[in-house]
Amino acid sequence: MFLKRNFLSLALVAGILSLASCNKSGEFSKTPSGIEYKVFKSTGAGKYDARDVSADGDATYKDRLGKIMALHVEYRTGKDSVLFNSRKQQMGFPVRVPLDTVRKAQRGGLEEAISLLQPGDSAVFRFNVDTIFAKSFRQPVPPFMSKAGKTMTMFVKVDKIQTREEAMADVQKMQVEQQSKMAAHAKDQLQKDDAALQAYVQKNNLKVQKDTSGVYYAITSAGSSLKPKAGQIVSVLYKGSLLENGKVFDSSEKMGNKPFDFALGQGQVIPGWDAGISHFTKGSKGILLVPSSLAYGQRGAGADIPADAILRFDVELVDVKNAPAAQPAAGGQMDEAEMRRQIEAMQQQQGK
């Protein structure tokens, strides 16, 4: 479900891309736990040599315990679809991972792979999906991952190793720079998006209204007089497409024609939905035109929603009801968006 507030996806680091493409014919080495890997050591001037890793792991890892590794990372499915890429998510800043002792239960997972890396390394790791989900995600393999093949690949470029104090100072500096960059970019992009939206409205002869937030909406079929209030649960049928080319990236049809339920105005969806759906009444149908700053912004989402993408949603507000006093946590297997959300949450937790 692309409507959840996850910000994942990223083009691979140029050095790693060229590195991987130049070594496609090369054989992966393999750890006793089953991780396939290619590790490369920088020799300067943009050149790399393959680096051997002992079957017992990297003997120098003990010297890095307790420190923080700053690295750029990308995860891909067996069909090469990007699940997560740190560079775009963090606007060019690396993620940070605490280096701790790798427990037996973590062998074959992300933790063991990270322990094989030294400062300046680049690497490609290939995991068995059953193992990686059991070891690192502690979840059954979701159907979309099973359909994509038996492996998950991780591309890595190590930036540096730091003490916790050094890493904390860097993170604080990064947050200030990141907020400044995002604010400047959003301000400039909003003007571009609004011009594109107005041109689209005129070209398609749409009768729309503009919300104070910047969302354009049109009611094409009236419903009842019941308008949802913040905190109430709304059920929505929808089709989401890119304004630029009309490509559909998500829809209720893909989800078995089941309405998507969420609490209005609680930040459970993109801001453009919280603002736009509030103007609909139960049973009404219409269109939402959402500028990128109220959707997925500069980060984009997955392989289907690029950075700074303006979105169109054709929606129907099926139902409005009061929220239950307490809602149990959802169970079952993860879908693709939930998988991406968990990866992002894991990276954020590791970076603290």
Host H or E run for residue 17: helix 14-22
Annotated catalytic residue, options 7, 48, 217, 238: 238
Annotated catalytic residue, options 7, 48, 93, 313: 313
Phi, psi angles (nearest 5°) of residue 229:
-110, 155
Where among 147, 162, 177 does a domain terminate? 162
Q: What is the span of the domain harbouring residue 212?
A: 189-321
Same domain, 312 and 275: yes
CA distance 124 to 85: 14
- Is 101 contained in some domain? yes
Active site residue 249: yes
Neighbours of 74 (CB within 10 A): 24
We report the CATH number of the domain holding residue 39 as 3.10.50.40
CA distance 95 to 206: 44
Active site residue 121: no
Annotated catalytic residue, options 121, 170, 250, 308: 250
- Is 249 contained in some domain? yes
Same domain, 27 and 105: yes
- Is 349 contained in some domain? no
- Is 337 contained in some domain? no
Same domain, 210 and 314: yes
Of 352, 346, 303, the C-alpha closest to 73 is 346
Of 161, 162, 160, 156, the C-alpha closest to 15 is 156
Which position has the token pair 């149908």?
285
- Is 176 contained in some domain? no
pTM beyond 0.85: the answer is no
Q: Are strands 151-162 and 47-50 parallel, antiparallel or unpaired?
A: unpaired
Annotated catalytic residue, options 61, 144, 200, 249: 249
Same domain, 31 and 130: yes
Q: Are strands 209-210 and 36-44 parallel, antiparallel or unpaired?
A: unpaired
The one-digit pLDDT tens for each residue of the chain (352 residues) are 333 332 222 223 333 333 333 334 458 999 999 999 999 988 877 778 888 888 888 999 999 999 999 999 998 988 888 887 888 766 678 888 999 999 988 999 999 999 999 998 999 999 999 998 888 888 888 888 888 899 999 999 999 999 999 988 988 888 888 778 777 887 888 899 999 999 999 999 999 999 999 999 999 999 899 999 999 999 999 999 999 999 999 999 988 889 999 999 999 999 999 999 999 999 999 999 999 989 988 778 867 888 899 999 999 999 999 988 654 444 444 455 555 555 555 554 444 4
- Is 26 contained in some domain? yes
How far, in Å, are 215, 267, 276, 289, 305 from residue 273 at the CA level? Answer: 9, 9, 5, 10, 16
Active site residue 132: no
Same domain, 208 and 146: no
Same domain, 22 and 149: yes
